[in-house]
């Protein structure tokens, strides 16, 4: 089957949330020993998880984390505080267990996969999933980032990797990334899809100066003028100003949605992958959970566009899936609440409000 047809088939299989199960979950939660609605977003989360999984008592363990790594041709314009070689060096660090995501993944007992979907150099390591589509994107200031075939291939790699995690027992998917220069690419994508200005989309990434940030804004604005990505066409955006790790995350998101598995978004970069996934199929939106709010300012615009409110706001600006991993215990809390709390009846507590008497 061609990559394009396989993607279309997956998109067409994505279903709406199960509203009956959500109603059942809501009714059950209202019988638990607490004032109605008092666990706020945790209650909403539990109800969403019921709608996603078709289960009144949803299961979200084990979590599966996938970190897609790729390079960006645009990084040669000096848009990052770090050199592009850091992408490959960090991949070795992930494989050796020394990165922030390794620490947080271990803490939540997650399955963790590191995928080379487009690093600019050869990386040899037994634990690495070798799925390189291309040795980094082209510099989209001068030419398209990739071909249409490469964009669809990267989506397919993402879908396959998510499926692999599900086959190994993951019941929740966290999408993460590594790619020097990818806040530039994410800003371009966010600006095209949400309609926010490039100025609003661009932040300091790994920590560039304010002066370099201005340069980053003008490089993106120029690139968008040159490439003219089509606002509602995800493949066109990926091909013209996209990134391979972003396409990988988009693929993983659509596969998890098809399989009724909740997806926790991380920061700005993963949320732009979600913007693309939602362009491909609007129903994907219902399967998404915003793990946290990144300090990268475009993230706010991307989340607002998706109408998602983040679980955490910790001032993170790292990526890799770290913020999503940190928020995972809140999903577990929501599912444990439904499963383990006593009801008014079972605990013999009066379920009558004074006011209503």
Question: Under the rule (CB under 6 A), what is the footprint of ligand NIO?
Answer: 183, 205-206, 266-269, 294, 296, 299, 317-319
Q: Which of 10, 50, 163, 183 binds ligand RBZ (CB under 6 A)?
A: 183
* Minimum distance, C-beta of residue 285 to ligand RBZ, in the bound complex (Å): 24
Strands (DSSP E) found in 49-152: 63-70, 111-118, 129-130
Neighbours of 284 (CB within 10 A): 23
* Contact of residue 299 among ligand RBZ, ligand NIO, none (CB under 5-8 Å per partner type): ligand NIO
Write out the two tokens for 181. 């220069």
* Minimum distance, C-beta of residue 148 to ligand NIO, in the bound complex (Å): 26
Nearest residue (CB) to ligand RBZ, 209 versus 351: 209
**Rounded Cα gap, residues 249 and 172, in angstroms:** 14
* Contact of residue 184 among ligand RBZ, ligand NIO, none (CB under 5-8 Å per partner type): ligand RBZ
Ramachandran category for residue 205: left, alpha or beta (phi over 0 → left; psi -120 to 50 → alpha): left
Of 262, 248, 292, the C-alpha closest to 64 is 262
303 binds ligand RBZ (CB under 6 A): no
Q: Which residues contact 348 (CB under 8 A, 6 or more apart)?
A: none
Q: Which of 320, 340, 352, 355 is catalytic?
A: 320
Burial 302-333 (b: 16+ CB within 10 A, else e): bbebbebebbeeeebbbbbbbbbbbbbebbee
Which residue has its beta carbon closest to ligand RBZ?
A: 205
Nearest residue (CB) to ligand RBZ, 22 versus 175: 175
Neighbours of 224 (CB within 10 A): 18
Phi then psi dihedrals of residue 178, to 5 deg: -145, 125
The enclosing H or E element of 177 equals strand 172-178
* Contact mark string toward ligand RBZ, 79..118, x via CB under 6 A: -xxx---x---x----------------------------
* Minimum distance, C-beta of residue 141 to ligand RBZ, in the bound complex (Å): 15
Q: Which of 58, 118, 181, 321 binds ligand RBZ (CB under 6 A)?
A: 181
* Minimum distance, C-beta of residue 270 to ligand RBZ, in the bound complex (Å): 9
Of 283, 340, 287, 334, the C-alpha closest to 58 is 334
178 binds ligand RBZ (CB under 6 A): yes
Nearest residue (CB) to ligand NIO, 17 versus 293: 293
Size of the site for ligand RBZ (CB under 6 A): 18
Active site residue 76: no
* Contact mark string toward ligand RBZ, 311..330, x via CB under 6 A: -------xxx----------
Coil vs helix vs strand at 99? coil
Q: Running DSSP on this structure, what letter comes out for residue 222?
A: H
Binding site for ligand RBZ (CB under 6 A): 80-82, 86, 90, 177-184, 205-206, 318-320
Active site residues: 320
């Amino acid at each position: 089957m061609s990559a394009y047809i396989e993607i279309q088939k997956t998109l067409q299989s994505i279903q709406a949330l199960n509203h009956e199960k959500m109603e059942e979950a809501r009714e059950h939660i209202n019988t638990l020993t607490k004032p109605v609605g008092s666990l706020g977003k945790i209650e909403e989360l539990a109800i969403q998880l019921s709608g996603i999984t078709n289960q009144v008592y949803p299961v979200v363990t084990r979590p599966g984390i996938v970190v897609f790594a790729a390079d960006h041709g645009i990084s040669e314009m000096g848009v990052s505080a770090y050199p592009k070689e850091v992408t490959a060096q960090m991949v070795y660090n992930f494989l050796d267990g020394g990165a922030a995501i390794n620490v947080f993944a271990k803490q939540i007992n997650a399955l963790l996969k590191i995928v080379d979907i487009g690093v600019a150099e050869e990386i040899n390591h037994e634990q690495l999933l070798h799925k390189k589509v291309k040795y980094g994107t082209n510099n989209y200031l001068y030419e398209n980032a990739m071909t249409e075939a490469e964009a669809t291939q990267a989506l397919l790699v993402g879908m396959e990797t998510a499926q692999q995690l599900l086959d190994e027992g993951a019941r929740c998917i966290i999408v993460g990334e590594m790619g020097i220069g990818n806040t530039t690419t994410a800003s371009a994508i966010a600006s095209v899809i949400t309609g926010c200005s490039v100025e609003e989309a661009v932040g300091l990434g790994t920590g560039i100066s304010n002066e370099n940030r201005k340069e980053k804004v003008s490089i993106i604005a120029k690139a968008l003028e040159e490439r003219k990505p089509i606002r509602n066409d995800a493949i066109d955006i990926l091909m013209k100003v996209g990134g391979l790790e972003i396409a990988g995350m988009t693929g993983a998101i659509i596969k998890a949605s098809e399989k009724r598995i909740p997806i926790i978004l991380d920061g700005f970069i993963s949320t732009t992958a979600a913007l693309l996934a939602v362009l491909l199929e609007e129903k994907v939106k219902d399967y998404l959970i915003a793990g946290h709010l990144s300090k990268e300012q475009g993230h706010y615009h991307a989340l607002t566009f998706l109408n998602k409110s983040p679980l955490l706001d910790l001032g993170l600006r790292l990526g890799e899936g770290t913020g999503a991993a940190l928020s995972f215990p809140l999903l577990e809390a929501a599912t444990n609440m439904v499963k383990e709390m006593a009801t008014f009846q079972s605990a013999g507590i009066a379920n009558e409000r004074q006011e209503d008497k």
